[in-house]
Structure 1
């Protein structure tokens, strides 16, 4: 059975997934990259170092974001969102956003005492970094849609 996800199902998928794909376009180049993220019902929060993704969003803040949950070829859910990139420059808002991202990642981390989701940026998971330029951003979601396929096991 193929169908459309309702808004509750769309929001649940966005709240519970760890990795999404961010689509950007600038200077004639389309790019899709995986990102760790957190979703709060209005914004998608993520971070990056400077590169193609950040440069593209600074030039053209209109983005697309996709997340899916795939059990197998016949049992899956997919959400596509459109929105606007907003770079977070306020230190308090940056810390708040990074904590949201870290909280969404922590359940998937190793049990090792020194494991944290900083991706090598800092030594302590609650810090946002001082030596590497980390760019924290949010996407104001303006439109969402979702589809699914479900086929009961026989």
Structure 2
């Protein structure tokens, strides 16, 4: 097996073709990583979540990373790491248009709401929706590809 660096264009292709990433954030020196569905639009990755640990952590430290993979088998894969900044899209602060844009992109993905919307314990039923739309503004992108030799 050989591993090589991917070009910027190849990295962008992996990000554009994908919809599931591993989102990493950090607070007080402790890393945390979770799967999340995303939709790509230019230099932004749009995401959805309910309130919880990742949102709390990203609010306190907006620097995040995402890993996006395309895996054919254990000897043939491509992996991209994106670094960027968390930015919430609250409806009340003039982000309505971008929030609707995020929703319109995400709803094209199958089961787009599940990673961010399902919790392992029963949730209270509320009259108000607590859902949070956010984006990761991409700063850097690097990738590696493996192939059989």
TM-score range, shorter chain: 0.7 to 0.9
Q: Which residue of 1 aligns with 2:105?
A: 100
Structural RMSD (CA): 1.8
> Whole-Å Cα distance in 2 between the matches of residues 151 and 118 of structure 1?
36
Q: Which residue of 1 aligns with 2:59?
A: 58
Unpaired runs of 5+ residues, structure 1, are 110-115, 122-129
Unpaired runs of 5+ residues, structure 2, are 118-126
Q: List aligned pairs for 1:22-37, cutoff 5 A.
A: 22-37=23-38
Q: Which residue of 1 aligns with 2:143?
A: 146
Q: Choose 44-53 or 21-30, whichever is displaced more.
A: 21-30
Deviation at 1:132, TM superposition (A): 2.4
Query: Do the aligned partners of residues 85 and 117 (structure 1) sit closer, same or farther apart at CA in structure 2, a change above 3 Å counting?
Result: closer
Residues 75-121 of structure 1 show CA distances to partners (whole Å, capped at 9, x for unaligned) of: 00000010010001222211111111122x1xxx4xxxxxx6444x7
Deviation at 1:49, TM superposition (A): 0.4
Q: Which residue of 2 aligns with 1:78?
A: 79
Q: Choose 135-144 or 20-29, whichever is displaced more.
A: 20-29
> Whole-Å Cα distance in 2 between the matches of residues 65 and 41 of structure 1?
16
Deviation at 1:28, TM superposition (A): 3.4
Q: Segments of 4+ in structure 1 off by > 3 A?
A: 116-119
Q: Which residue of 2 aligns with 1:133?
A: 130
Deviation at 1:41, TM superposition (A): 2.6
> Whole-Å Cα distance in 1 between the matches of residues 112 and 18 of structure 2?
15
> Whole-Å Cα distance in 2 between the matches of residues 100 and 151 of structure 1?
35
> Whole-Å Cα distance in 2 between the matches of residues 4 and 41 of structure 1?
22
CA contact (8 A) 2:83 2:139 kept: yes
> Whole-Å Cα distance in 2 between the matches of residues 29 and 2 of structure 1?
30
> Whole-Å Cα distance in 1 between the matches of residues 15 and 46 of structure 2?
11
